[in-house]
Amino acid sequence: MEIGFFCTYWGSEHLSWPVFLAKAKAAGYDGVEASLPTDPVLQKTMINQLEDFELKLIGVHWDTVSPDFDQHKKELVTRLNTLAVANPMVITSHTGKDHFSFKQNIELLLLAEEVSTTTGIKILHETHRGKFSYASHVTESFLKELPWLELTLDISHWFTVAESYLDDQTEAVELALSRTRHIHSRVGFSQGPQVIDPGYPEWQPAVDNHLKYWDKVIAIRKESNEKQFTFTSEFGPFPYMSTLPANVSAETHQWNINYYMKELLKSRYYAD
């Protein structure tokens, strides 16, 4: 199974798009994960530059935030369709809201699936605080209701919401792992979605708990004879990064720990 490693544009927006792409390419990433502007001319320019650098794209939908449900639906469909025009490998979507009802969030998921069917672009739904998928036991209900529903797994959010590594929620987690098609490899812990540095020894238990679940996902996908799988290193800027090591800028530290995670996973999963 081919495993691709993607670089998040989140936190690097101070760089121009071509400078960011050149940096990601030089660091050995296979592609980038980013939202794209709604302006079709600017979007086309960005897509062409991706091709110039021979980098793949995973689209990110995060910016549908209206609390008004009817408006939220319209914005969701518009934004997903805009991203689909760029022909990304997949779109990872921050779908719904935790304060919407089960029925409302189901309606949003069905709308997203309509966009996916119409455009031919797979849409994955990210496990994320504040969204329909904010906790493992809640997401389980949606996965059981919609057997086609597939996930981008960012399990750091669930660790924080549950204040645990989910050892007491095995059934819900196992179902989610079986539906995972992309992973955001940020390391969180029981009191927050991001550790200071995954290379620090005091955070090894947190790293190990993430690896335990990621290993299971990779094993499931291999057993299913999947041809490819993807990771995005997604340690974020402030306020996710609330503490810095001495004498290191926030931009440099974020880049370094994302690169560290990419190399850790590359050596782990390429070894076999």
**By percentage, how much of the chain surpasses pLDDT 90?**
95
How far is it, in rounded angstroms, from Cα 231 to Cα 82?
23
How many residues does the structure list for the chain?
A: 272
* Cross-strand pairs, 56: 31
For the record, the structure tokens of 128 come out as 């994320």
Residue with tokens 């995954």: 198
> Domain 2-270 is in which class?
alpha beta
Question: What 3-state class would DSSP assign to 109?
Answer: helix
Q: How confident is the model at residue 247 (pLDDT cuts 50, 70, 90)?
A: confident
pLDDT in tens, 252-261: 999 999 999 9
Those residues whose C-beta lies under 8 Å from the C-beta of residue 146, and which sit 6 or more positions away, are: 106, 109, 110
Q: Is the pLDDT of residue 161 over 90?
A: yes
Strands 2-8 and 122-126: unpaired
Provide the pLDDT for residue 271. Answer: 53
pTM above 0.85, yes or no: yes
For the record, the structure tokens of 48 come out as 């062409």
- By CB atoms closer than 10 A (0-12, 13-18, 19+), residue 205 is exposed
